[in-house]
Amino acid sequence: MADTEHLAISQLDPHDAAGGLKLSTEAHWNQNEADWQFFLTKGIVFGTRDRNGNLVATAALLPYTETDAWISMVLVTESWRRRGLATRLVDACLNTATKLGLTTWLDATPDGAQVYGPLGFAPTIQLRRLRLANAPGSGGAPLPAATLTEFLTCDIGAMGFDRRGLLQELSGRAGSRLISNGDAVALVRDGRSARHIGPLFAESSAHALAMVRNVAAAESGPLLIDAIAAQTVFLDGLKADGWTIERPFQRMRFGRATVAGTELPFAVAGPEFG
């Protein structure tokens, strides 16, 4: 860590969106510029720069309520990895969260979980990211729009806290679709390299699968979904439909749970948002 101690940690602003996007693109993540602008305007994003002023590492704290926040966008450019930068930046997020009295959550890759566990994060649920390389785009009748109120009610039931600002932002973007088939509701939005399905709430695995199939029929190109691992029937159905698992994520919590969700969703908004 000694060779990174000279790198100051600073709070970033919206002018750093291009530098953040460069880091997430290097990591082959799916965030686009709109995602970075959201983090930089609604969250607290820390970063470090090299001697030339280039952004080489980031971590974001995104408060959702007065009690709960999300940590994500923990990124380090390849030439600066394994030198303690990620730990320092996550510590900055945790210190800020502690001062604000926030319980923090994150979705960690297997490598990330090895970093966060020693910091005091406890594992909760597991996720699986799946990809459909090419949606069939076979057409069919478009699904009716879901109401944001209906969607928020489902999300609060799943998360235990209100993410109104996030869901208003994501659903209001050009290209986003907030849809319902009567027994399931889902958000479909643009990413850097693939369209993303989630959150997805449904009465049953069969209804959740029907929703994903309806979405795929209306889309072309690659799709991503971050499914709850415990929804095994849903996961098996996705794999039977040609979806492939890309990677697992472990949801983790730092601090005492102030609230609890009452129902698991079938898919989440993404590891960057929870």
Tens digit of each residue's pLDDT (9 = 90 or more) over 123-176: 999 999 999 998 887 776 678 899 999 999 999 999 999 999 999 999 999 999
What residue has token string 């002018």? Answer: 15
pLDDT-based confidence at 4, cuts 50/70/90? low
CATH number 3.40.50.2300 given to 127-254:
no
Mean pLDDT of the chain: 93
Output the pLDDT for position 260: 66
Separation of alpha carbons 165 and 68, rounded Å: 14
Instruction: Note the pLDDT tens digit of each residue in 232-272.
Output: 999 999 999 999 999 999 999 998 776 666 789 999 999 99
| Predicted TM-score (pTM) of this structure | 0.93
Output the pLDDT for position 134: 86
Q: Which amino acid is at 101?
A: G
119-144 in b/e form (b: 16+ CB < 10 A) is eebeeeeebbbbbbeebeeeeeeebe
Neighbouring CB atoms inside 10 A of 235's CB total: 20
What CATH number matches the domain at 2-101, 1.20.1260.120, 3.40.630.30, 3.40.190.10, 3.20.20.70? 3.40.630.30
Separation of alpha carbons 105 and 82, rounded Å: 23
- Better-scored residue on pLDDT, 259 or 61: 61
Q: Which amino acid is at 204?
A: S
Rounded to 5 degrees, φ, ψ at 70 are -115, 140
Q: Which amino acid is at 217?
A: A
CA dihedral 184, 203, 128, 132 (to 10 degrees): -40
Q: Structure tokens of 238?
A: 């996705």
* CATH topology agreement for domains 2-101 and 127-254: yes
Output the pLDDT for position 19: 98
What residue has token string 């693109």? Answer: 25
Do residues 18 and 2 touch, judged by C-beta distance below 8 A?
Answer: no
pLDDT over 70 at 2, yes or no: no
At how many degrees (to 10) do helices 110-119 and 85-100 cross? Answer: 50
Output the pLDDT for position 140: 67
| CA quadruple 209, 215, 217, 221: dihedral sign | negative
Distance, first Cα to last Cα, the chain: 30
pLDDT over 70 at 3, yes or no: no
What does the DSSP 8-state code read for residue 183?
S
Q: Structure tokens of 150?
A: 């209906």
What residue segments make up the domains of the chain, in order of their start? 2-101, 127-254
Separation of alpha carbons 154 and 147, rounded Å: 11
Q: Which helix (H) or strand (E) holds 99?
A: helix 85-100
